[in-house]
Amino acid sequence: MTRFLSALPADLAGKRALVRVDYNVPLDAGQVADATRIEASLPTLRWLLRRDARPVLLSHLGRPGGRPDPGLSLSPVASALAGLLGTEVRFFAPCDGEGAVRASRALKPGQVLLAENTRFLPGETANDAALARRLARLGDLFVNDAFGTLHRAHASTTGVPALLRPAAAGLLVERELKTLSALAQPRRPFVVAFGGAKIGDKIELLRRFAERADLILVGGALANTFLRAQGVETGASLVEESALDIARSILSAGGDRIRLPTDAMVLVRADGEGKRAESVRSVGVDAIRPGMTALDIGPESRVRYAEALRGCAAFFWNGPMGLFEDPRFAAGTFALAEAGAAATAEGAFTVIGGGDSAAAVRRADLSDRVSHICTGGGAALEYLSSGRLPGLDALIERRRS
């Protein structure tokens, strides 16, 4: 059983709480462009500060490849966190040296220390035991509140909790697990929507939901692979050729519960007089020809998918319906977001599985009109597929030892 904050000792005064957070946020001109993940960590930090603990925070940002990259420094995050938390946030680099240890010990009540990007160190993603020991020196106890990284067996997520006691999950992780666990026995009708590009990332979950869900709506490049598996011409569309047999087996298991697009928004490229012309049109999926690239579900499919959500009791969505970053191919994704919000208003329990689908819901300004938005798409998919996460297993194991 996972240990949560409520199970920590009552007296935390003066204790250095080493907290793994997920501050992998977008930066723009040296400023935090989206503070959603920072805001999600505030309840746990406030909980610790109210008990006079001294929070020391670890996080990664981007993929610097195990070496310092000024463009991926967490320094701007420290400023954003201070403004949101309303307290002094000190910043220190690097995160694993004697200086960081001294800075953690020098923290005064009410102060927070944010250490530099853990992925500036080559041992982080390799779960290096020596690095885990150095990081563990920053705290007297450990809290993992970085749900979006729980599926990674890294030094700061699985190595450190093996060295510090007590080790617990934060309020964000507790909330995410409770929400996702509710989908194990969902209210019915239960509708699931999958988009994005690759089946490989979603194989086990697709197989599980093919048996568990009442209806599965498929969009994005994922739909192209399923259509090709049925023998449909997909033109120049992105198709995961190596996954065609898998797609056929999922279609066979899901039967008529799996809905594929009946039309698509396609990009048509034509060469003429030394120039390449592009046009966008809506076509039935049976009318896709060479030179056409399907990049969104079409208007008929948007209506069908929205109707499928009417009257549902639970809805889970992971992956966009198209290339929504391009306004020409955003309508399908935003239509599904609107349908999800409408279902929520009618009483459905709606969960957005992180990643691009979460970004689309926020861009459509619908964040407060769905039941829950996961802070980590990869972690959510792995937990729903297997019920386990390496970072979570580390906390459970530490409790047993």
**Residues acting as catalytic residues:** 37, 198, 355, 378
Q: What does the alpha-carbon distance between residue 310 and residue 112 come to, in Å, rounded to a whole number?
A: 46
DSSP code per residue over 278-342: EEEEEEEGGG--TTEEEEEE-HHHHHHHHHHHTT-SEEEEES-SS-TTSGGG-HHHHHHHHHHHH
Q: State the distance between the two ends of the chain, measured CA to CA, in whole angstroms.
A: 13
Residue 70's CB is within 10 A of a number of other CB atoms, namely 8
In the chain, the amino acid numbered 371 is S
Dist. CA 237–CA 241, nearest whole Å? 11
Residue 236, judged by CB atoms within 10 A of its CB (0-12, 13-18, 19+), counts as middle
The pairing of strands 215-218 and 54-58 is unpaired
Q: How far is CA 298 from CA 177, 262, 335, in A?
A: 35, 8, 11
d(CA 269, CA 279): 7
Which helix (H) or strand (E) segment holds residue 38: the answer is helix 36-50
Q: How far apart are CA 56 and CA 155, in angstroms?
A: 16
